[in-house]
Structure 1
Amino acid sequence: MTPPLNSIISRLHLKQLRLLIALGDHGSLLKAAQQVALTQPGASKALQEIETTFDTPLFHRTNRGLEPNEAGHCVIRYARLIHTDLSHMREEMVGIERGQGGRVAVGVIMGAVPRLTDAITAVIARNPDMSVEIVEDTSAALLSQLDAGRLDLAICRTTISQTPQFYESIKLQDETLAVVANVQHPLRRAKKLALQDLAEYRWVVYRANMPMRLLLEREFRDAEIRFPLHLLETTSAFATLAVLQSNPSFVALVSIDVAQFFARHEMTCILPLHLASRSEPYELVTRKGAPLSAGAKLLIEQLRGEDGGES
């Protein structure tokens, strides 16, 4: 039975976490011991103490060395996360000492990536020593990372959450949508398109029950057209772009900011299809009551100070 959290905290040491990471990297007790400046007997004793702390074996002993079992993979993964968090803490403290922005971790849904990167560019220009981590994911995943303290802020939607009252949110901008395609798409030179014109093409879309997907389904339903059966589902802007560039007949629904960015760099074209529906606005979201780092405050000020997008 896994020991209580307080027991693990009181018995586990940072050097033991370093040993776990080294064992995960090398699979050899000798090499791991050398990496963390321990003797092999010292490393063997430390590993025994770790397994005693968790009350379970973490490695299979084989002729090739030590191979993590399922529990071992779990513990090593979290050891790496703790090590990364400590590194980020140090970066932020160095920034505070120097009177600079330190470090900020920000999440973003695909459609708001251009807005966020413009803001980050402006902030870094004034704070060149500031470190930034960008996490692109769905609103649900980003809110989960906000809850865990792994993100300082996020540009996403709280409407998907069952507990929106846990967040501070500010409407950042409305989201207008556009349909994009390969620059060699058969309809690239059309002056005006109806949804029926694109109904038989393969669509790259968000997965079911996500706001942008629901909006597209509503457009098809209102037009009394069967929704396409064979879809390619992704939440990644890069995957969407790569698919469109590899398949001249595919089309995708993205935010107008993303569409204009792709088109500006001649990566895709925007098809002349007007969509009657609007997606929900982006929100600038933080965890209610959570302290904000200096870097987070700088980025929030920049995002709030910019003009709104298309409406």
Structure 2
Amino acid sequence: MIPPLHSIISRLHLKQLRLLIALGEHGSLLKASQQVALSQPGASKALQEIETTFGTPLFVRTNRGLEANAVGQCVIRYARLIQTDLAHLREEVVGILRGQGGRVAAGVIMGAVPLLTDAVSALVARQSELSVDIVEDTSATLLAQLDAGRLDLAICRTTVSQTPHAYDSVKLQDETLAVIANVGHPLRRAKKLTLQELARFRWVVYRANMPMRLLLEGEFRDCGIRFPQHLLETTSAFATLALLQANPSFVALASIEVAQFFAQQQMSCILPLALTSRSEPYELVTRKGGPVQPAAQLLIDELLHRRS
């Protein structure tokens, strides 16, 4: 039986976490003990204490050394996350003491990536010692990371949450959508297109029940056209672009900011299809009532300034 959380917290030490990481890297108690400056007997005792703390073996003893079992692999993964978080903590404290710099972790959905990167670029031009961690994912995943304290802020949509009132959110801007394709697409030179003309092509879309996907399904439904069955589904802007590059007949739905960025770089083109539906706006989201550290506030201020 795994001990309660308070027991693990009270018994686990940072040096033990370093030992776990070293064991995961080397699979040898001797090499791991040398890396963390412990004697081999001391490392062996520390490992026993760690396994007692978690109430279960973490390693399998083999002729090749120590191999982490499923639980051990899980614990080692979180040990690395804790070590990374401590490194970020130190970096942030240094920035605060210097009166500048610091670190901010920001999440963003695909369509709003240019909005965030423009703000970050302008901010780091003024705050050269600022470090920014950008995470691109779906709104649901970003809100979960915000809940866990992994993100300071996110540009996403709270409507996907069952508890949208649990967040502080400010509308940043409306999202306009566009259909994009390879610069060699057969219909690239058309002056105006209908959804009927594009329905026969293979679509790269978001997964089911996501706002952009629901909007596209609504467009097909309003036109009385059957929604395509054989889709290519991804939430990645890079995967979308790579698919368009791989096949000149594919088409995809993207925010106008992403579409224009790709078009400016001549990586794709915007097809002249006018969409009648309106997408949900982007929101700047933070944890409700939670403290906002100085570096995050700088980025929030920059995003809000660009909104006005």
TM value normalised by structure 2 = 0.99
Counterpart of 1:291 in structure 2: which amino acid?
P
Task: Give the structure 2 partner of residue 212 of structure 1.
Answer: 212
Q: Determine if the alignment matches structure 1 residue 58 to structure 2 residue 83.
A: no
Q: Which residue of 2 aligns with 1:100?
A: 100
What amino acid is the match of 2:60?
A: H
Matched position secondary structure for 2:115: helix
In the TM superposition, what is the alpha-carbon distance from 1:40 to its structure 2 partner? 1.5
Offset of residue 52 of structure 1:
0.6
CA distance in 2, matches of 1:184, 1:64: 55
1:260 aligns with 2:260: yes
- CA distances 1:234-285 after superposition (whole Å, capped 9, x unpaired): 0000111111111111000000000000000000000000100111000000
Instruction: Output the amino acid matched with 1:163.
Output: T
Aligned residues: 308
- For residue 175 of structure 1, give the secondary structure of its aligned residue in structure 2: coil
CA distance in 1, matches of 2:242, 2:170: 33
User: Per the alignment, in what secondary structure is the counterpart of residue 193 of structure 2?
Assistant: coil
Structure 2 counterpart of 1:247, which letter? N
Task: Write the deviation string for residues 74-95 of structure 1: whole angstroms up to 9, x where unpaired.
Answer: 1111111111111111111000
* 8 A contact 2:152–2:286 mirrored in 1: yes
| Residues 1:244 and 2:276 aligned together | no
Alpha-carbon separation, structure 1, partners of 2:290 and 2:268: 40
* 2:155 and 2:283 in contact (8 A); partners too: yes
How many Å apart are 1:307 and its aligned residue? 3.9
Structure 2, unmatched stretches of 5+, are none
> What's 1:78 paired with?
78
User: Which moved further from structure 2: 263-272 or 21-30?
Assistant: 21-30
Distance 2:250 2:266 in 1: 16
RMSD: 0.8
Alignment correspondent of 1:183: 183
CA distance in 2, matches of 1:153, 1:208: 25
Would you say the 8 A contact 1:101–1:294 is kept in 2? no
CA contact (8 A) 1:105 1:134 kept: yes
| 2:16 corresponds to 1:8 | no
Deviations, residues 31-59 of structure 1 (Å, cap 9, x unaligned): 21111111221111111110011110001
1:301 equivalent in structure 2: 301
Overall identity of the aligned pairs, in %: 78
Query: TM-score w.r.t. structure 1 length?
Result: 0.98
Deviation beyond 2 Å, 4+ runs, structure 1: none
Deviation of the 1:199 alpha carbon: 0.5
User: What do the CA deviations read for 1:142-187 (whole angstroms, capped 9, x no partner)?
Assistant: 0000000010000000011111111000000000000000111111
Q: In structure 1, list runs of 5 or more residues that go unmatched.
A: none
Q: Provide the residue aligned with 2:29 in structure 1.
A: 29
